A and B are shown apart, each in its own frame.
Chain A
């Protein structure tokens, strides 16, 4: 269906260029049909354009009228109509995807709009006086962006940000369109905040010339899509070169992320200043010195390859921190720390468990401070933020059970997520749903780098589900789980039912799905009336 409507739009655009007078009438009719509350504005605007054209036709009724006519056509189409049609088409696509309930409706409109007007992102982003902030990296993009948006709003900004996790360029085009008026002349916010897929960074940076860029961390993730983590770093580095004026905010604890300062010197660093030690065993990604190749010493290592590192051979070490957290403490549900800013410190308490969520809070605080937001607003707002879409989402069922939805997508994130379950020793019910669609990563070998062993002693029951449920079942066998506690139920909705039946009132079912499994499970929960639709 989307293919068909694209062809239609292209055809439409072409004939519009050729026969402008006739088609202005047509498009007025069509826009009246598609338009919502802006009908009168469109009609009068288009009538004015038509009038201008008519007068130029009367004025030049000989053959040489073609040149000014063509010019008017081109101008109208390129500066005005092209964007307009793009927005129109996007709105139509959004309506269609909501009617047909295909996908979350967040990517298709942008895809259509970009097809009609490749510059749609630049045109709309330029209308944001506060500029655009980009958040990229493997883990924590969505949660960090959500925290940052909360802080910016508390400080009086009107933020537009792509909150539902569709972070490819089409998703960003969709969100900009959603936040413009019908003509695309004004945005209903003053500052843009976008989480951007690592591989899309050069494209987006070239389109929006951001004010600040945050890189959270780089772990191996969906390798089949990007190749390898070093290549991902090089792609982000290339993007940083394209915007020498942007402030770049880097995770100093990640050697690979810290090394991105080679590409752009306008850098601020954040990191952890605490002796927190992880239960997990190994760094799996970048544990070798990027200058000389020797194995780095971590003292301490926080998780994965994040830590306070020094190279025993060449002396390369973690850069000094502009922003840091100290005095960390955790429970299964929340975390506390002291936030150290260049001008003073403050205590923060967030309603999310795990060190990686404190990293997200720290990153959001660093950008906020760079944007000169008072630390009181930062600390207060961080305390009020709940989890982003499907990441640590707490849901209460009608019969008094709790569901805890925790998105998993790569080994380090998975290990960290289950490590938070060990902050208390109560036996837990788990549902793990492993899919291998494109958005999940089609290669499931990453589960073998996940330290499933970390939680095996506090598990009451585990249901494994999803397209590759058998692979997860096998992983648990080799992690020495008591297999009598493990059940394979490939069908996600049946797995959810089974999980809820195993969970007593007042107890919690911890659900660990990959991305597309999370979307499917939310659809089930939505059918049960437990969560609202896709776009809250």
Chain B
């Protein structure tokens, strides 16, 4: 019987900026090309949802109006989501999703919009928007992935992520959460060119969209691997794919980041 993964997409209507759809497409296609079935479960405000059935959780960024619409609903689901993440549910949280998976987001007026505290981190509104191509060094995480699963795919040979950031919030990591990576080019969590994103168990928060997963197939495969391992156990390896087009786009993005201007406005 074919393996099947359920991808839970949190608030696809309110939180879908910056090509987030590309991340979902990538997960689906990379499963499909390996004979793994997928099902997308859209989670909207008010929907009754069993996160125990989720194999991968995804939430993207949104406009301010979108974030206002979903905040109460997300906080209500917080304990259920956290319980699954403690059990190893792989999750990808981008931009606004990343911020709301921390403790809170503090607006310029000083109001605190509560998050669900998956990451030991908080975000304060900045007075500048940080915009541009990003290259992140994830060598330390990639080496963990290598020992976590004995992967024979390209995961092991690539140690960078590429994407595009566009945020004004500055995210500060507290001691129980480690960064996803270190900025090679770009602004990062605080705009200081230091840490990028956050990792807790198999949950990854990041400011990188662009879309993130298509140009970083090794990361997409890692999420799939985590999900398969959690659902079916004893998964030794993923069927290798021809990633030459993905790698060409990854390398082109790195090249472009050397010449393209970034904006801090």
- List which A354-369 residues lie within 8 A (CB) of chain B: none
A-B contact count (CB 8 A): 105
Given contacts A284-B16, A436-B260, contact A448 B166 (CB under 8 A): no
Contact B17 A220 (CB under 8 A): yes
Please, how many angstroms separate the alpha-carbon atoms of A363 and B42 in the complex?
36
Contact B64 A228 (CB under 8 A): yes
| Total count of chain B residues near the partner, CB < 8 A | 42
Please, how many angstroms separate the alpha-carbon atoms of A315 and B256 in the complex?
48
Given contacts A470-B249, A474-B214, contact A224 B166 (CB under 8 A): yes
Please, how many angstroms separate the alpha-carbon atoms of A478 and B17 in the complex?
19
B248 within 8 A of A: yes
| Total count of chain A residues near the partner, CB < 8 A | 36
Contact B214 A449 (CB under 8 A): no
A329 within 8 A of B: no
In the complex, the chain A residue whose C-beta lies closest to that of B251 is: A470
- List which B129-187 residues lie within 8 A (CB) of chain A: 129, 131-133, 164, 166
Residues of A within 8 A of B166 (CB): 223-224, 443
Given contacts A445-B22, A449-B21, A473-B249, contact A229 B63 (CB under 8 A): yes
Per-position binary interface string of chain A over residues 417-443, scored 1 when its CB falls under 8 Å from any chain B CB and 0 otherwise: 000000000000000000010100011
Contact B69 A473 (CB under 8 A): no
Residues of B within 8 A of A467 (CB): 256
Given contacts A229-B63, A230-B63, A473-B249, contact A447 B19 (CB under 8 A): yes
B211 within 8 A of A: yes
Please, how many angstroms separate the alpha-carbon atoms of A378 and B14 in the complex?
40
Q: How far is the CB of A439 from chain B (nearest CB, A)?
A: 13
Contact B164 A443 (CB under 8 A): yes
> Out of B25, B210, B256, B260, which one reaches A478, CB within 8 Å?
B25
B209 within 8 A of A: yes
Given contacts A443-B164, A474-B245, A478-B25, contact A449 B19 (CB under 8 A): yes
Contact B252 A471 (CB under 8 A): yes
Residues of B within 8 A of A230 (CB): 63-65
In the complex, the chain B residue whose C-beta lies closest to that of A450 is: B19
- List which B1-30 residues lie within 8 A (CB) of chain A: 13-14, 16-22, 25-26, 29
Contact A446 B256 (CB under 8 A): no
Per-position binary interface string of chain A over residues 438-481, scored 1 when its CB falls under 8 Å from any chain B CB and 0 otherwise: 10001111111100000000000000000111110111011010
A48 within 8 A of B: no
A326 within 8 A of B: no
Contact A228 B69 (CB under 8 A): no
Q: How far is the CB of A168 from chain B (nearest CB, A)?
A: 16
Residues of B within 8 A of A228 (CB): 17, 63-64
Chain A residues touching B, majority SS:
helix
B263 within 8 A of A: yes
- List which A275-330 residues lie within 8 A (CB) of chain B: 284, 287-288, 293, 295
Contact B18 A470 (CB under 8 A): no
Contact A288 B14 (CB under 8 A): yes
Given contacts A224-B131, A230-B64, A442-B131, contact A473 B17 (CB under 8 A): no
A483 within 8 A of B: yes
Contact B129 A448 (CB under 8 A): no
A529 within 8 A of B: no
Given contacts A224-B166, A478-B25, A478-B26, contact A443 B18 (CB under 8 A): yes
In the complex, the chain B residue whose C-beta lies closest to that of A467 is: B256
In the complex, the chain B residue whose C-beta lies closest to that of A483 is: B245
Contact B19 A448 (CB under 8 A): yes
Please, how many angstroms separate the alpha-carbon atoms of A470 and B226 in the complex?
28
Residues of B within 8 A of A231 (CB): 63
Contact A446 B25 (CB under 8 A): no
Please, how many angstroms separate the alpha-carbon atoms of A447 and B133 in the complex?
16
Residues of A within 8 A of B20 (CB): 448
B222 within 8 A of A: no
A533 within 8 A of B: no
Instruction: Other than A230-B64, A438-B261, give 6 A-B pairs with Cβ distance below 8 A.
Output: A224-B131, A229-B63, A284-B21, A471-B249, A473-B248, A478-B25
> 15 A-B contacts, Cβ less than 8 Å apart?
A223-B18, A224-B131, A224-B164, A228-B64, A229-B63, A295-B44, A442-B131, A442-B133, A445-B211, A468-B252, A470-B248, A471-B253, A473-B245, A473-B248, A488-B248
B interface list, Cβ under 8 A from A: 13-14, 16-22, 25-26, 29, 44-45, 63-66, 68-69, 129, 131-133, 164, 166, 209-211, 214-215, 245-246, 248-249, 251-253, 256, 260-261, 263
